[in-house]
């Protein structure tokens, strides 16, 4: 949309600059390290997928598929036929598609993958909810044991701890039981809500027909009053599903990870079974309080054409995590130069160019002026850049083969050889 003759960004999609991205990069670096520490390898899937993938995998009755996807026809086929494609609204289905397509989920396969990237949903933008948003997440295939549920939850807890957020979130867990348990529970839920249908919100009356479990997520006050007395998943569990959930709780207890059993917690996507969980943020995220969520989905691989394969995973919202980091003072300031090199004359400026390149090849952040300004102007630039060190280089320093390096915070000065290795050692 144009404003005052200038084109502007699409609503709900953000431009990000260094002031914000320094925190994003820190978050992503922590995530990469933690995923790999837990034995997960990275996967990158296309942003564009066939619409059928999410209709089959996520569920036609979900809000994501029925209302929120950016879908359009791709007419790129040689025979002129078109295919309905979508900007991915979530990544679990895409990861499963990729694993199946590339033959990763053979019999007895054990695979652990993670991803970081953008997703897209046609939603009403607000704080913590964007039309283009970014997620980090992981999927573990081939293990039905409750220990893997615990491992995934512990992985999320580790990321939050390393980001300085563990004390500002609360872990909620629940179980949906096995598919047969879920079917019995869904029937009981429908019977209950049908008896109170006139008191339900318009959205929840629609969900009663399409996806009854989503009523439990409703933010409408009238719906929430009804939910308090609704049937609970724990009342409809098989002995096996109950034992699985007990083992998950015991595993979290052993690791000292605190949790709340939340019998109203469900995940709105059709593929979830047994364990479900959410990490709820307590500061900075407003109404969109869930910063990471996931669970077990043992039937999804088979739904998408593979052999029966147990699986568990999660996804976390990067925008929401950054909001929390800002709120608790865990945000990262933009990087600053280790040293600012100042050319005092023509010879000094030429030497600065050479030395700056040599230091940057060693991975050192260097500030340097390329506009031929005065020493005074360059010193002001070093202050604005918040450089840790500075050095003025002119013909005298070149002749002497040494330079005075100033520590900007204290004013202390060190005589250093005018040599890239010597200056690099001081910068580290």
DSSP per-residue string spanning 155-208: HHHHHHHHTT-GGGEEEEEEE--SHHHHHHHHHHHHHHHHTTGGGS-HHHHHHH
Which CATH fold topology does 2-178+238-328 show? BirA Bifunctional Protein; domain 2 (3.30.930)
CA distance 118 to 227: 33
Contact status, residue 283 vs residue 168, Cβ threshold 8 Å: yes
Q: Which of 266, 289, 288 is nearest to 277 (CA)?
A: 266
pLDDT of residue 1: 54
Q: Which helix (H) or strand (E) holds 33?
A: helix 18-37
- Show Cβ contacts of residue 31 under 8 Å, excluding neighbours closer than 6 positions: 114, 116, 136, 159
CA distance 319 to 127: 9
pLDDT of residue 397: 96
Domain 339-427 -> CATH class? alpha beta
pLDDT of residue 288: 65
Domain-wise residue ranges, the chain: 2-178+238-328, 339-427
**Residue 253 CB neighbour total at 10 angstroms:** 12
pLDDT of residue 2: 61
pLDDT of residue 212: 85
Per-residue pLDDT of the chain in tens (428 residues, 90 and over written 9) = 566 788 999 999 999 999 999 999 999 999 999 999 999 999 999 999 999 998 887 776 676 777 788 888 887 666 667 889 999 999 999 999 999 999 999 888 899 999 999 999 988 887 778 999 999 999 999 999 999 999 999 999 999 999 999 999 999 999 989 888 888 888 998 899 999 888 999 888 988 887 788 788 787 888 888 888 888 888 889 999 999 999 999 999 999 999 999 988 877 666 788 999 999 998 877 666 899 999 999 989 999 999 999 999 999 999 999 999 999 999 999 999 999 999 999 999 999 999 999 999 999 999 999 899 999 999 999 999 999 999 999 999 999 999 999 999 999 999 999 999 999 999 98
pLDDT of residue 79: 66
CA distance 141 to 106: 11
CA distance 110 to 361: 41
- Show Cβ contacts of residue 120 under 8 Å, excluding neighbours closer than 6 positions: 47, 69, 70, 87, 88, 89, 131, 132, 133
pLDDT of residue 268: 61
Locate 185 and state its tokens: 């529970």
Pairing of strands 260-261, 273-281: unpaired
């Amino acid at each position: 949309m144009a404003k005052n003759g200038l084109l502007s960004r699409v609503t709900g999609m953000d431009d990000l600059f260094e002031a914000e991205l320094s925190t994003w990069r820190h978050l992503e670096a922590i995530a990469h390290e933690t995923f790999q520490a837990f034995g997960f390898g990275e996967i990158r899937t296309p942003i564009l997928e066939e619409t059928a993938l999410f209709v089959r995998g996520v569920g036609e009755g979900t809000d994501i598929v029925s209302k929120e996807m950016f879908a359009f026809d791709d007419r790129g086929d040689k025979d002129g036929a078109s295919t309905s494609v979508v900007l991915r609204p979530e990544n679990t289905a895409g990861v499963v598609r990729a694993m199946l397509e590339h033959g990763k989920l053979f019999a007895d396969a054990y695979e652990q993958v993670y991803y970081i990237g953008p997703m897209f949903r046609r939603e009403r933008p607000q704080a913590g909810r964007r039309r283009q948003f970014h997620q980090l997440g992981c999927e573990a295939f081939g293990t039905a044991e409750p220990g893997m549920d615990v491992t995934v939850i512990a992985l999320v807890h580790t990321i939050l701890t390393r980001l300085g957020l563990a004390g500002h979130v609360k872990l909620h867990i629940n179980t949906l039981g096995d598919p047969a348990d879920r079917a019995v529970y869904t029937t009981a839920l429908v019977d209950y809500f049908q008896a109170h249908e006139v008191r339900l919100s318009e959205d929840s009356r629609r969900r009663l027909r399409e996806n009854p479990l989503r009523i439990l997520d409703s933010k409408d006050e009238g719906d929430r009053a009804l939910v308090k007395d609704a049937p609970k998943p724990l009342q409809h569990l098989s002995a096996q599903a109950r034992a699985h959930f007990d083992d998950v709780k015991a595993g979290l207890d052993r690791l000292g990870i605190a949790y709340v059993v939340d019998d109203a917690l469900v995940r709105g996507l059709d593929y979830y079974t047994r364990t479900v969980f959410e990490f709820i943020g307590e500061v900075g995220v407003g109404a969109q309080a869930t910063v990471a969520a996931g669970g077990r989905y043992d039937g999804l691989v088979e739904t998408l054409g593979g052999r029966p394969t147990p699986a568990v995973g999660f996804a976390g919202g990067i925008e929401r995590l950054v909001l929390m980091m800002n709120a608790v003072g865990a945000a990262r300031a933009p990087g600053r130069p280790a040293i600012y090199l100042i050319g005092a004359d023509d010879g000094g400026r030429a030497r600065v160019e050479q030395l700056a390149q040599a230091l940057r090849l060693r991975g050192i952040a260097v500030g340097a002026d390329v506009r031929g300004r005065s020493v005074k102007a360059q010193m002001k630039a070093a202050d604005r850049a918040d450089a840790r060190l500075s050095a003025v280089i002119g013909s005298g320093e070149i002749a002497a083969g040494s330079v005075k390096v100033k520590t900007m915070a204290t004013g202390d000065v060190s005589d250093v050889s005018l040599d890239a290795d010597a200056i690099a050692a001081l910068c580290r």
